[in-house]
Amino acid sequence: MLFVPGDRPDLALKAPRSAPHVVVLDLEDAVPPAGKVTARDSMREAVDRLTGLVAVCVRVNPPTTPWFLDDVAALPDGLLAVVVPKLESKAQHREACQALDGRPIVAGIETVRGAVDARHLLDPPVVACYFGAEDYVADLGGIRTASNDEVAVPRSLVAIAARLAGIPALDMVTLDFGDEERFVREAREARALGYAGKICIHPAQVRYADDAFRPSLEEVEWARRLLTAFDRVGGVTIAFEGQMVDEVVAARARAILAAVEDQ
């Protein structure tokens, strides 16, 4: 998901060039309080210009803010989903669902309470979620580090909650959009944790995300070799390239090949 300021339709029109799966027009963090009202008209203009070019979502302001209901009222038709940030309680989930009247929701899990209770915030019509590390650490009162040690637990909790809900989870932002190495490292970590993708805030990050979440050639070749050997003996446990392989490992190999076919 490539996030673009909701008050910049000029930038939004350039977003499809980097081939993101989804463009998110952001009315929350990307727009200062003084610009919240006028940003809605700009957002609608951007949605109109992007229609037919790429899937579009809009991130509204959180339900706890005075802008939420007016943001919802301004939403145009044709959106893939509405991104609702900082969900942290069942009451907020109900409020968002009622206000959006059945529209698909991407839930932002970005606070301490939200991370701890994430399992209870992902019921329909939530169709996906993301973990917001920066807001989480600010809420925690911690310190943001390049190691990501301070977000290891909530990052895992969100991925686990998404798995239980049967929806995809998107990994946190990498703010330093010039640091390719860190972005790729974090994306690979996220894939290992079960995340399905990553939030991007710069067009250059889209390609890095695609590469990191796509199974490597080595993984694909390993999966094919393993399944050939496993199926040859009728699916019983075998020794394969120095490790014991049973149905659990074979299922992981099948998932790798399925991911390649989906792409």
| Model confidence pLDDT, tens digit, residues 175-222 | 998 899 999 999 999 999 999 999 999 999 999 999 888 887 788 888
Indicate the domain borders of the chain. 2-213, 217-262
Task: Judge whether residue 71 has pLDDT over 80.
Answer: yes
Q: Which pLDDT belongs to residue 262? A: 66
Question: Of the ranges 96-100, 219-223, 244-248, which is most confident?
Answer: 96-100
Q: Beta strands 105-109 and 81-84: pairing type?
A: parallel
Phi-psi region of 120 (alpha: psi -120 to 50; beta: other; left: phi over 0): alpha
Q: Tell me the percentage of the chain whose pLDDT exceeds 90.
A: 79
Quote the CA–CA distance of 31 and 37 in Å, as a whole number: 10
Mean pLDDT of 221-247: 86
Task: Judge whether residue 230 has pLDDT over 90.
Answer: no
Mean pLDDT of 42-68: 96
pTM to 2 decimal places:
0.86
Task: Judge whether residue 260 has pLDDT over 80.
Answer: no
| SS3 call for 75 | coil
Provide the mean pLDDT of the chain. Answer: 94
Nearest CA-CA partner of 168 in 261, 81, 89: 81
Mean pLDDT of 5-14: 93
Query: Which one-letter DSSP state was computed for residue 31?
Result: S
2-213 belongs to CATH 3.20.20.60: yes
- Evaluated on CA atoms 148, 151, 156, 159, the torsion sign reads negative
What DSSP line would sit under 175-194, residue for residue? S-TT-HHHHHHHHHHHHHHT
